[in-house]
Structure 1
Amino acid sequence: MQTLWVSMPILRNIVLGAARNRDELRQICAQGGITVADLDNPDMKLSLEQNCALMNASLQLSGDPNLGLHIGERTTVSVLGITGYLMESSKDLLTALHHLQQYTASFSRLYRFGIQLTADEAVYLCEPVSVWNDLSPETARQSVDISFAGTLHILRLLTGSQLWPLRVYYRYPRFADTRDHERILKCRPLFNQSCNALIFSRQDLQRRIIGYNQALNEVFINMLQQKLGEESHSFLQQTRTLILELSRLSFPTLEEVAERLHLTPRTLQRKLQEENTSFRVESESIKEELARNLLLSKSLTVGEIADRLGYADQAAFQRAFRQWTGATPKTYRNRQDKSV
């Protein structure tokens, strides 16, 4: 079961926004192991590795250090598929953003979107999965730029009116030149913050959406629920998603995951057994996926990756990785370097 993926329309938007001609389009696609024809397949899912490769190629060929911002300011709801159309038919902006949070899994598992409310403000959060920041911090940052600029553009399209954030937060270090950020976001960003967020006036997000249609809205909700099916609501998928979310700093234990699910460890194991698996099997599956991606990052040593994935020492990680792939972590990393 692939845990980390993004739908083709998301990356199609980036690739087409970066390529200036057919030849560049082919070059970018080749870096991600896809064809130009694949760009028109809305059901295709791309791995985190492909996502980073395509974004890196787009950045290099375009020569645009603010590519994310510039793509974002041209982004429409269509890149989000049915979730975008659900937003377009929602009652107001706050409801639309709640729907985005609720149905992110319909178009990607590389991001976590969220809305937090106070009495006067609404905080819109955009967080790439932590392994993405480890593997390719620049493309992760660019993805936040796309989300921020894209969200503002979409919210304006939905209401037909201008809308600006009160404040903008980035987890990342300050950029050398923030003029484009200030022009597009209409706000001077704050850096090295605890989250990536756009902070709005709560009243601004109560604006009604031009295309509000309750009947159509319900149709899209039913379509999304059917599309996600049992997978998004299954206990197994909930557990895998939680393991991934908790692995931001260190790999979670059975007890930590059970506590977050409000279960005892024994009950968690029993429920997984009912789905013909176990916590160990699912943890190992996610560890393998994370390990393969983390080894692509030259900024992390094998020892650091072993520690990140919860192994007692580097030797234990090497044994596990050899069981998964038939190769040592170092050999695997060298092979990937040669294939680039």
Structure 2
Amino acid sequence: MPILVRSASLTKYSEIARQAGIDPVRALREAGLDLSCLTTPDLRIPEASLARVFEVSLAGGAGRAESRTLGARIGEAWRLSDFGSLSLLLQHQPTLREALARVEPYRHLLSDSVSVQLEEIDDTAVLHVALVTARPDPGPEIVELTVGAVLSLVRAMLGPQYAPRAVHFAHAAPERLEVHRRFFGPRIEFDSEFDGIVLARQDLDRASPLADASLARYAQELLDLQPRYGEASLTDNVRRAIHLLLPRGAGTIEPVSERLGLSPRTLQRQLEQRGERFSSLVNEVRASLAARYLAQPRHSVSDISDRLGFSEPSAFSRWFSVEFGQPPSRWRAVNFGAGEERLGLDRH
């Protein structure tokens, strides 16, 4: 079953692409998408097709540096109303914390790909943004667009000029940073350990002047009347939770079941009823993340082993050899045309 997302980002894309010297009609046709996606924000389209639009745009842009800002520019243009039917409910929440809590239950109305996890440490709050895709790497433009959309929600609740403590991206920095600094702010960390936004913890509970409890109840009643045919399965939700939690050392069944509001035993039982096992899903996500990390030269094999929860690199290497048919360093060299010595990788 394909991973589906709303076409809202493409309604923003058209004008921004033209400004960058890109033909949006050609890009959509090459991606196999109907041109109605440029004007209709609530269509459900394959996430892989959206990624293809960006690939075509980068290949056909008047200048790569300009094209490389597409995701950030779309994020900059994002408004609360672009969350579609969920926007009224979000607008009338009393705090940012409450607004974030409303996103996950209705995420099926937005995207099968995106999950946002709130982590609180002392006086700091971190919004971890994870994308589950059928590709090893979601691509920097898609990541920047998604983090930008989350930042637009933060600013809708805290004020349009709100500056987060930092914005983090796991990918490398683009050639030019003017657009990124203008939108995300001056504190941008690239080549980071995660994708997401760092805030002051107290900002989560700052009262919103727009909150209206009656309108929030009305919006929720309307949302609950909508058909739920697009809602993700339990298995998909478990995969998303593992994608978020595994790189943070919390990929066991206890934290995953807690995120889903279930006990570990109930989660195990419900997965077994669907012919699934939690350990198999962890293995599946590990394989996806391993390929994603190995595509990024800055990650050593030891680093990847640790991120994926292995006790030592040799254990990771044995597991990887079973899954992919060769050791991780050799797989990386074959698939990305770089030798171990030049990349400075560990030998395992």
* Cα distance change on mapping 1:103 and 1:38 into 2, 3 Å: same
Residues 16 and 223 (structure 1 numbering): CA distance in 2 closer, same or farther, change over 3 Å? farther
1:11 is matched with 10
Contact kept? 1:111, 1:128, Cα under 8 Å? yes
2:121 to 107, 110, 118: 118
Opposite residue 28 of structure 1, the aligned amino acid is: A
2: CA distance between counterparts of 1:110 and 1:233?
A: 10
Cα distance in 1, alignment partners of residues 165 and 182 from structure 2: 14
Query: Corresponding residue for 1:105?
Result: 108
* SS in structure 1 at match of 2:194: coil
1:191 shift after superposition: 2.6
DSSP-derived class of the 1:279 partner: coil
CA displacement at 1:75 relative to structure 2: 1.0
Percent identity at matched positions?
Answer: 20
1:27 maps to 2:30: no
1:43-83 CA distances to partner (integer Å, 9 max, x unpaired)?
43222320211122334444422122222211112221122
Q: Equivalents in 2 of 1:176, 1:24: separation in Å?
A: 22
Cross-structure match for 1:200: 199
Aligned mates of 1:180, 1:210 — CA distance in 2:
29
Partners of 2:156 and 2:245 lie apart in 1 by 35
1: CA distance, partners of 2:118 / 2:18:
33
Shift of 1:123: 1.4
Single out whichever of 239-248 and 94-103 deviates more from structure 2. Answer: 239-248
CA contact (8 A) 1:72 1:149 kept: yes
How many Å separate the matches in 2 of 1:308 and 1:142?
34
1:312–1:43 CA distance, 2 compared to 1 (3 A): same
The answer to whether structure 1 residue 85 and structure 2 residue 82 are counterparts is no
Q: Tell me the equivalent position of 1:279.
A: 276
Aligned AA for 1:69? A
CA deviation map 1:273-315 (0-9, x unaligned): 65xx4127xx79x97xx99xx9xxx99xxxxxxx999894668
Kindly state the Cα deviation for residue 108 of structure 1 after the two structures are TM-superposed: 0.5
Report 1:107-146 matches (<5 A).
Answer: 107-129=110-132, 131-132=134-135, 134-136=136-138, 139=139, 141-146=140-145
Counterparts in 2 of 1:42 and 1:130: CA distance versus 1, 3 Å: closer
Q: Deviations over 1:109-138 (max 9, x none)?
A: 222212222342221222222654x245xx
Secondary structure, in 3 states, of the residue corresponding to 1:176? Answer: coil
In structure 2, list runs of 5 or more residues that go unmatched. Answer: 258-262, 297-316, 326-348
Q: CA deviation at 1:146?
A: 2.2
Closer, same or farther: CA 93–11 of 1 in aligned 2, 3 Å: same
Equivalent residue, structure 2, for 1:175: 174
TM-score of the superposition, structure 1-length normalised? 0.67
SS for the counterpart of 1:6 is strand
Change (3 A) 1:191 1:269: closer
Shift of 1:257: 5.8
Bigger drift between 62-71 and 145-154 goes to 145-154
Count of matched residue pairs? 292
Indicate if the aligned counterparts of 2:116 and 2:129 stay in contact, CA closer than 8 A: yes
CA spacing shift, 1:240–1:157, aligned 2, 3 Å: closer
Task: Quote the offset at 1:5 in angstroms.
Answer: 1.7
Question: Secondary structure, in 3 states, of the residue corresponding to 2:97?
Answer: helix
**CA 1:115–1:238 in structure 2 vs 1: closer, same or farther (change >3 Å)?**
closer
Using a 3 Å threshold, how does the CA distance of structure 1 residues 45 and 117 change in structure 2: closer, same or farther?
same
Q: d(CA) in 2 for partners of 1:220 and 1:314?
A: 48
TM-score by length of 2: 0.65
Displacement of 1:195: 1.1
Q: Matched residues in 2 for 1:160 and 1:40: separation?
A: 28
Letter in 2 for 1:279: E
1:186 aligns with 2:185: yes
Calculate the aligned-residue CA RMSD, in Å.
4.4
For 2:22 and 2:192, how far apart are their aligned partners in 1?
A: 40
Structure 1 segment 1-340 matched on structure 2, within 5 A: 1-2=1-2, 4-20=3-19, 24-62=23-61, 63=63, 64=66, 65-129=68-132, 131-132=134-135, 134-136=136-138, 139=139, 141-227=140-226, 229=228, 232=231, 235-236=234-235, 238-239=237-238, 241-242=240-241, 260-261=256-257, 262-263=263-264, 271-272=270-271, 274=273, 277-279=274-276, 312=322
CA 1:58/1:224 → structure 2, altered by over 3 Å: closer, same or farther?
farther
One-letter amino acid of the counterpart of residue 278, structure 1: G
